[in-house]
Structure 1
Amino acid sequence: MPVKRDDTHQLIERELVVFKRPNTEVWYCRYKVEDTWFTQTTKERDLNKANAAAQKILAKALLRKEENLPVVTKRLRDVAQLVLKAMEARIASGHKVDSYTQYKRIIDKYLVPFFGSMVISNITSETIEDYEKWRVKEMGKTPKYSTVRKHNVVLNMIFKEAISRNLMSGLKMPYLETKGQKSERHATFTVYETNIILANMPEWVANGRQHHKEKRQVVHDYVRVLVDTGARPGKELLDLQWKNIEFEVQHETAGVQFVEDEVEKEEMIDYEREYVELSNGPYDEEGNPLPNTVWTPIVSLFVDGKEGTRHAVGYDMTYRVLKEIANRRYKNIRKSNKLQHLIETKNEDKIFMTSDGEGLASALHMFQHFLEEYNMLKDRNTGRKRVLYSFRSLFSTAVMDYDDVDMRDLAKALGNSPEMLMKRYDRGTLKQIKHKLKAPNARQALFKPVEVPDLYQSAKVAAKASKAKSKAKTKSQ
């Protein structure tokens, strides 16, 4: 039978124990919540007082567990969970917390593995320096300035949460310096390379496996709208709903356009007649557009992005793409103009998604696979990889070079932070300048059909065609 120790007292069997550590007169308690044991000082030297303190500690721990809070909150990992829970509560109450996924990833992948078991009040500037060295090894590279800034934002949120709960003093909060590798500008596309991309995408879509084909089609839609609007890739367009769209039709006097091909002429007339139905422009008694009128749709997209809610503007290509998506996904709507119906009824479906509701979280990954297949992933001059963001610089350059769009107008269209002069004195609005942003020369150049040279042909498609040709030749013999 084990000898009963004077320095250990079991208050609740297998649940609460009061004990003394060597070389100290203070009593500690060890308590269990569910299947986990925790240790904490009672701060008492008298056994009776220590027993009462231990009972209170256990009661508080059980209450915290019942309220779905961490039992112990002095370690960084526990405080980090409180920060995440606060964000989750905001999301549940209907608020947007755009950075939640990113912050959670930083906490789970970097902060908890390094700081997790540390008592938050013991983290010093020296500890932060050790973390920065560890992070470089973990990432395999020096992080970019923007990455370091995000990590520091999350750490500051955790420290401030700890201060608000009296788990650390504000005076002990470590100073976080944002230092990192300067970000390089994204490699861009030329207008000609954009023509090649748009020429190759239908083939890429057609050659996808059955379950990937629709996602590829959505990427194709997404790319065309990025090229036409200059919108920021990511949430600006991926969160866009039909209810966030408005459009009008602009008509301008122009020279008579002669079209020899009868089929092409009929398509053009149908397309222009569709615009007539959506506008009050000039047309004859039979409802046909007058021959010297050019019809242009102006599509306003109310996007929510980096700079908050703003307008992005698209024109003919954006209208065509939205119409294609509406016709493809909403076969059950018995309306001649499904797009107009979706906009007027303020439909809340996201636009850039598959028919079964899957979004485009992998858009960049898929697009870069496309570029790699067609030998266009890296800029031939810089060696840097192209990304979806490359279309933004392409758009800016094209509309300025081909149509001399004013820098002020372009800044408003892209939602960039204007320079100080514009910020102080300019009062123009996007509504006032959206007609000037039509940039017909740039858009004609960007969406120009081209013959794709061998350099940008898909090796996969060529190999498949060669195999089919050999098989056919063998059969004929």
Structure 2
Amino acid sequence: MPKETEVLALFFQSTSTPEKSPQLKYLENLATGKLVHMRDGNITLYKRERSKQWQMRFRLYDKKWHRVSTGYEDLEYAKKKAGDIYDRARFMEELGLPPLNKRFDSAAEATKVELQSDLDNGVGKKIYVDYISVLDNYLIPFFGKKFLTNINHQDIAEYELWRAEKMKRKLMRSTMMTHFSAYNRVFDSAIKRGWLSDKHPVPRLGTKGEKSTPRPAFTRKEIDYLFVFMKTWSEGGKTEEAHNGRLLLRDYIEILMATGMRHGTEAKNIQWKHLEWHTDKSVRYLRIWVSGKTGPRWLIARHEAVPVIERLKQRFTEWDHLTLDQLIEEKHEEYLWRHPNGERPYDFVSSFKWLMKDSGLLLSNNGLKRTLYSFRHTYATFSLVEWNMGIHTLAKQMGTSVQMLERFYSKLTATLAAEKLAG
């Protein structure tokens, strides 16, 4: 250590001040060897608190600071490693490539933060919860320590074998698409942050799985029974919270059956301002604005939805002085699905399972377990069979394609066509 540096070090060791300025801290670290500059100040070596290894930050022609660990506790080794990292980073910069090679787990953790932030702010989709689960349970455990630029087709093949063994079942195509999308989001996030070049070839996960089947629908007899059963069931509940949850679930189900909207993002994020009246040929209809998987759209609710909306209004005493028409006209931003205390339910999945068990309708005649998506399937079935709705109109109402409806309901449409052809 040079003589001047030794003097400075002794000075700082003997000087104690309650609070040191950033400049004083910088000089102290420099004098005591906790801060080391290299390459004309373009590289700085330093140590973090509670870490013995030397970290480095360096600046390239882009004038941005980049940070990485040298992996060494010995200063001389750390200097050599820092020089190698800096030289490679400059070479990569000249080629137009990202200067640092990030590991998969770093990009995956950043992706999780983005997804959770969107969920917390009410702009995330329900599927984001599944993406986070896939990252935590599958993608990070397998790919975590691999560098993004080193992942190749062999890794993908090994991952798919590892996943199949871990899951011990054949994956449905929808499950494989969830894994595919979660994996792609990690690389998209890395590209956005400058950790990976958008020109770098990314090997993709496979998406061919078992063919998806629609959720089991309810028959007309089962729906009629369920709606009668819910009137009594919704009056129960061991606690006030459970009682309010039952009331809200009943309303939620009846709206799903009156609209065919998607359970989850579409239904859950409806606000009072998204309701309005629509009059056509002197008949008034309730129109609802929803936004979800396929973007925003207006849909028309069946008339039986109106009493449900009236029930929702009556739970809030602050609106007692308003008629339903006035409330809809005022375009309030409160969410439709709220308890009397203003809190929103996290979801309806748990209470729905209890309803299905209590009503004896959990399983269909084929032994398939019903979910809240079963009401969307039931709506589509009733629309085609009972309500004589055209398939093009139904596709617009449900925010899907005619091809998708024909794929899932081909037997129904074939039967209807046969009836029309036979007269």
Deviation (angstroms), 1:350: 0.7
Are residues 1:226 and 2:211 paired? no
Q: Report Cα offsets for 1:357-385 as digits up to 9, x if no partner.
A: 333433133212211222111111x2111
Are residues 1:331 and 2:317 paired? yes
- Determine the C-alpha separation between the residues in 2 that align with 1:204 and 1:15: 69
- Determine the C-alpha separation between the residues in 2 that align with 1:162 and 1:250: 51
Residue 237 of structure 2, aligned match among 202, 208, 219: 208
2:172–2:209 contact (8 Å) kept in structure 1: yes
Task: Report the 3-state secondary structure (helix = DSSP H, G, I; strand = E; otherwise coil) of the residue aligned with 2:299.
Answer: strand
User: Which residue of 2 is the match for residue 369 of structure 1?
Assistant: 354
Residue 340 of structure 1, aligned match among 325, 330, 341: 325
Alignment of 1:130-141 (within 5 A): 130-141=158-169
1:312–1:413 contact (8 Å) kept in structure 2: yes
1:335–1:341 contact (8 Å) kept in structure 2: no
1:297–1:319 contact (8 Å) kept in structure 2: no
User: Which residue of 2 is the match for residue 437 of structure 1?
Assistant: none
Task: Report the 3-state secondary structure (helix = DSSP H, G, I; strand = E; otherwise coil) of the residue aligned with 2:318.
Answer: coil
Residue 335 of structure 2, aligned match among 350, 359, 380: 350
Are residues 1:298 and 2:282 paired? no
User: Which residue of 2 is the match for residue 119 of structure 1?
Assistant: 147
Deviation (angstroms), 1:335: 1.8
Matched residues, number: 338
Cα separation, partners in 2 of 1:95 and 1:217, compared to 1, 3 Å = closer
Cα separation, partners in 2 of 1:358 and 1:403, compared to 1, 3 Å = same
Cα separation, partners in 2 of 1:37 and 1:115, compared to 1, 3 Å = farther
Are residues 1:195 and 2:209 paired? no
Deviation (angstroms), 1:320: 0.5
Structure 1: gaps of 5 or more residues: 1-10, 18-28, 61-71, 252-280, 282-295, 423-477
2:101–2:195 contact (8 Å) kept in structure 1: no
Q: Report Cα offsets for 1:118-145 as digits up to 9, x if no partner.
A: 2333322222222223323443433321
- Determine the C-alpha separation between the residues in 2 that align with 1:250 and 1:81: 51
Residue 185 of structure 1, aligned match among 176, 191, 214: 214
Partner amino acid, structure 1, of 2:361? M
- Determine the C-alpha separation between the residues in 1 that align with 2:352 and 2:136: 28
Cα separation, partners in 2 of 1:36 and 1:108, compared to 1, 3 Å = farther
Task: Report the 3-state secondary structure (helix = DSSP H, G, I; strand = E; otherwise coil) of the residue aligned with 2:207.
Answer: coil
- Determine the C-alpha separation between the residues in 1 that align with 2:71 and 2:174: 44
1:377–1:386 contact (8 Å) kept in structure 2: yes
Q: Report Cα offsets for 1:220-271 as digits up to 9, x if no partner.
A: 00111111112221121111000000114678xxxxxxxxxxxxxxxxxxxx
Deviation (angstroms), 1:386: 1.4
User: Which residue of 2 is the match for residue 74 of structure 1?
Assistant: 102
Q: Report Cα offsets for 1:407-446 as digits up to 9, x if no partner.
A: 22222222221359x9xxxxxxxxxxxxxxxxxxxxxxxx
1:188–1:391 contact (8 Å) kept in structure 2: yes
User: Which residue of 2 is the match for residue 254 of structure 1?
Assistant: none
Partner amino acid, structure 2, of 1:344? E
User: Which residue of 1 is the match for residue 182 of structure 2?
Assistant: 154
Cα separation, partners in 2 of 1:52 and 1:156, compared to 1, 3 Å = closer
Are residues 1:312 and 2:299 paired? yes
Identity, % of aligned pairs? 28
Deviation (angstroms), 1:391: 1.7
After TM superposition, the score normalised by the length of structure 2 is 0.68
Deviation (angstroms), 1:12: 9.5
- Determine the C-alpha separation between the residues in 2 that align with 1:372 and 1:403: 29
2:180–2:204 contact (8 Å) kept in structure 1: no
Partner amino acid, structure 1, of 2:357? E
Cα separation, partners in 2 of 1:140 and 1:12, compared to 1, 3 Å = farther
Q: Report Cα offsets for 1:90-143 as digits up to 9, x if no partner.
A: 889x89443544433322232222222223333222222222233234434333
User: Which residue of 1 is the match for residue 385 of structure 2?
Assistant: 401
- Determine the C-alpha separation between the residues in 2 that align with 1:399 and 1:152: 33
Are residues 1:83 and 2:137 paired? no
Partner amino acid, structure 1, of 2:249? V
- Determine the C-alpha separation between the residues in 2 that align with 1:331 and 1:359: 17
Task: Report the 3-state secondary structure (helix = DSSP H, G, I; strand = E; otherwise coil) of the residue aligned with 1:206.
Answer: coil
1:227–1:395 contact (8 Å) kept in structure 2: yes
Higher relative contact order (CA 8 A, sep 6+): 1
- Determine the C-alpha separation between the residues in 1 that align with 2:219 and 2:199: 52
Task: Report the 3-state secondary structure (helix = DSSP H, G, I; strand = E; otherwise coil) of the residue aligned with 1:316.
Answer: coil
Deviation (angstroms), 1:389: 1.6
- Determine the C-alpha separation between the residues in 1 that align with 2:400 and 2:217: 18
Bigger CA drift: 100-109 or 79-88?
79-88
User: Which residue of 1 is the match for residue 24 of structure 2?
Assistant: none
Task: Report the 3-state secondary structure (helix = DSSP H, G, I; strand = E; otherwise coil) of the residue aligned with 1:298.
Answer: strand
Alignment of 1:240-251 (within 5 A): 240-248=270-278
Cα separation, partners in 2 of 1:407 and 1:370, compared to 1, 3 Å = same
Structure 2: gaps of 5 or more residues: 1-29, 37-43, 55-68, 90-99, 407-423
Bigger CA drift: 111-120 or 213-222?
111-120
User: Which residue of 2 is the match for residue 291 of structure 1?
Assistant: none
Partner amino acid, structure 2, of 1:333? W
Cα separation, partners in 2 of 1:243 and 1:128, compared to 1, 3 Å = same
Give the RMSD, CA atoms, in angstroms.
3.9
Deviation (angstroms), 1:185: 1.8
Are residues 1:415 and 2:402 paired? no
Bigger CA drift: 202-211 or 239-248?
202-211
Partner amino acid, structure 1, of 2:222? E
After TM superposition, the score normalised by the length of structure 1 is 0.61
- Determine the C-alpha separation between the residues in 2 that align with 1:52 and 1:371: 63
Deviation (angstroms), 1:36: 4.5
- Determine the C-alpha separation between the residues in 1 that align with 2:205 and 2:349: 32
- Determine the C-alpha separation between the residues in 1 that align with 2:386 and 2:33: 79
